[in-house]
Chain A
Amino acid sequence: MIGRIAFLCVAAVIAVTAQQNVAPAAGDAASGKVLFTKIGCYECHGYAGQGGAAGARIVPMPLNEQGMIRYVRRPSGEMPAYTGKSASDRELADIYAYLKSFPPAKKAKDIPLLDGIKNRH
């Protein structure tokens, strides 16, 4: 059973990755940037989507656009559920485009100060 779940997860990740590679975000990143602040996504996830104690890291966004919209409508954790009245599909698509516009995140080992702290140099 565990093996089957793991397979499905891996398959889903492959599908999501493939879709991310193939289908560019359809939304407007500039509009998404405004909305990200206006409707308060930044409050829990941070202005850079970096996450924190109050919300998950969402940059890089691990879901495809439809996956993200589905999650926003019916989240599984403590995130508020946004209905279409709270944020339209169009708005969420713009936010998705904004989140996808961030450059690849650095790793701790790529930041000398952080790497030095971690390794207690």
Chain B
Amino acid sequence: MARRGKDAGGNRRNFLKGAASGAAVLLANPATAPAQDVEAERRAAPSPSAQQAARETAPPPPRADVYITDRPGADFMVDVLKSLNFDYICANPGSSFRGLQESFINYGGNKQPEWLTCCHEESSVAMAHGYFKVEGKPLLVLAHGTVGLQHASMAIYNAYADRVPVYIILGNEQDANFRRADVEWKHSVQDAAAMVRDYTKWDDSPTSLTHFAESAVKAYKIAMTPPMEPVLIVANGSLQEEPMSDEDKRSLRPPKLTLASPPEGDSGAVAAAARMLAQAENPVIVAGRVARSQKGIQLLVELAETLGAPVLDRRFRMNFPTTHTLCNSGNLREADVVLGLEVEDLWFFTHDQTPINRMGMSNRSILKPGATVITISSEDLFSHSNYQDFGRYSETDLSLAADSEATLPALIDACRKIISTDRRRAIEERCKRLEARYQQNRDRDFDAAAAGWDASPVSTARLSAELWNHIRHEDWSLVSNTTFVSNWPNRLWDLDKHYHYLGGQGAYGIGYGAPAAVGAALANKKYGRLSVNIQCDGDLNYSPSVLWTAAHHNIPLLTVMHNNRAYHQEMMYLQDMASRAGRRPDRAQIGTAITNPNIDYAVMAKAYGIYSAGPIDNPNDLGPAIQAAIEVVKRGEPALIDVVTQPR
């Protein structure tokens, strides 16, 4: 069967366009064609000639086969997407977006964005997730609207729960007449985005290039307005592959993008919050996803110092310098005013619940009676129902539906204006007490790190300390979550830049770590930063192929395995469950241990083309191995060290 030709496509579009414009004229000017006028014109018109009559009534000539076009619709789609200034595309190739891929690499020159080869759609999205948290810009992800999106879905949920914008284009063939074979039916879907609509912010399935252009730009704007979330646009297959009409060639252009300014808190509410905070005896700030940038960190420091308020960092982002004496030196139980900034789990943080070793469930607030709770959060501006990432309802005394980083300057200003000299003295005294507590915490953490220092397997504290010893004089970026290594980097290292720590998965979906680290390292690459990934073994086994992506695209990244040879959290849960049931806990490794055989991650890395060392189980061997691997990374390559570690 011949392809539909340029004329056919053009005529179809022109017919529809003409019909639509005719209807529009009639609607716009309903009184312009009264019936009597039409009849008069018909009478006055000359009769058609014999030649004209023959042309009108003869059968149409056979349609000429058209094999090529110099301007498929995908070219214009590329124009639109280039206007959004994406740096990279992450994609596993798929036939439903073959037109777009060809246009990106040829028409678009494979520059800005550059195409990155990913081996799994979950990696594509997680790379974009990690990239954004360093660079503050979304990456473009392309995937099949069916099987590719199914692969990507967990990573999209992670990004959604972590309030990270990922910009996703889905290939799909909406028009059944254009589906060429069984595979294209299996890869087509009526409503592609439906599957992930519960955990994305917006989507559209454009039916024309004009529609695509407007929706593509609108999607970017929506994704980048707090709370930031993933968005999807479906790129219809025939719209990608069929020629642009002459009219479209002449008239279409990418619409202008203007990002919305982040929503700032109402001035009256800001003033009220400032009064409560300024009068507090023991204010405490709880930081969720506050800082998007270095500016956000600086603003939070300013607020904390203005109030003399300790900052309890939920470690969802790099919010507050670990070197600051107000960092985690507070106690919620002592607070009379609590300020929660972008914390969706504030209830969990302010309540005790029945521990897992007891039956039933009860809970109580740990706050003092009468303590005032203030929240500033863009979480209040957007919600879905189905997935429960929004957390438990938290009672508050003042709630500002606003972006915290955007609101902090006004709040700081309002506080400064009303803090009297006497209050200032009290705040200085409080800061001295908090500094002493900060030092006590630091002493405690370092003595805890000394425990098991010489143990084999290697303690996670020793691993973290050895790593820090080798990177602390570099411009470094920790691109992995620290939850599974007892947060040792946050406790031992000096973190003060926004790229020093990126938080975690968002939805605790495992398989995020390795690809997000590669994505973050990609963002760090142009700044020459040393990216460091403490990589959980269970996580790596979801998408190990991202190591190949790192090698193929020369993404420098030091990966140090936290190889505890288990899905350890679940092993502990099994032990809990066995104990609750009054049974022996010595079978908890069934279904949770990753042993017999042990996985050789150094060999795995080599198979993907990456420098590697290990397995290392003697802690004294770790320092030299790190040093050697850093030299490789500084040459612009990824490297991996397999370290056999303690559980946490």
Contacts and interface: CB of A to CB of B under 8 A. Distances in A.
Contacts of A80: 356-357, 575-576, 578-580, 585
Interface in B443-484: 443, 446-453, 455, 457, 459-461, 465-466, 468-469, 472, 483
A80 to B, nearest CB: 3
Given A114-B465, A120-B494, A75 B357 contact: yes
Given A43-B568, A83-B582, A78 B356 contact: yes
B487 interface: yes
13 contacts: A39-B585, A40-B585, A42-B647, A48-B451, A52-B486, A75-B357, A80-B356, A81-B357, A83-B582, A86-B584, A86-B585, A117-B492, A118-B442
A71 B108 CA distance: 68
A48 to B, nearest CB: 4
Interface residues of B, number: 45
Interface residues of A, number: 41
Interface stretch (A4-12, A18-26, A101-109): A101-109
Contacts of A53: 483, 486-487, 648
Closest CB pairs A-B (n = 4): A50-B452, A80-B579, A48-B452, A50-B451
A115 to B, nearest CB: 8
B447 A43 contact: no
A105 B588 contact: no
A50 B459 CA distance: 8
A75 B575 CA distance: 15
B29 to A, nearest CB: 72
Interface in A63-114: 75, 77-83, 85-87, 105-108, 110-111, 113-114
A48 B455 contact: yes
Contacts of A87: 584
A59 interface: yes
Interface string B560-580: 000000001001100110111
Contacts of A111: 450, 453
Interface string B536-572: 0000000000000000000000000000000010011
Interface of A: 38-40, 42-44, 46-55, 57, 59, 75, 77-83, 85-87, 105-108, 110-111, 113-114, 116-118, 120
Given A111-B453, A117-B492, A78 B357 contact: yes
- Classify the secondary structure of A's interface with B: loop
B355 interface: yes
A105 B447 CA distance: 9
Contacts of A108: 443, 446-447, 449-450
Contacts of B457: 47
Interface string B214-238: 0000000000000000000000000
A118 B460 contact: no
A107 B444 CA distance: 10
Contacts of A105: 450-451
Nearest to B468: A117
A44 B588 CA distance: 13
Given A40-B585, A118-B442, A79 B357 contact: yes
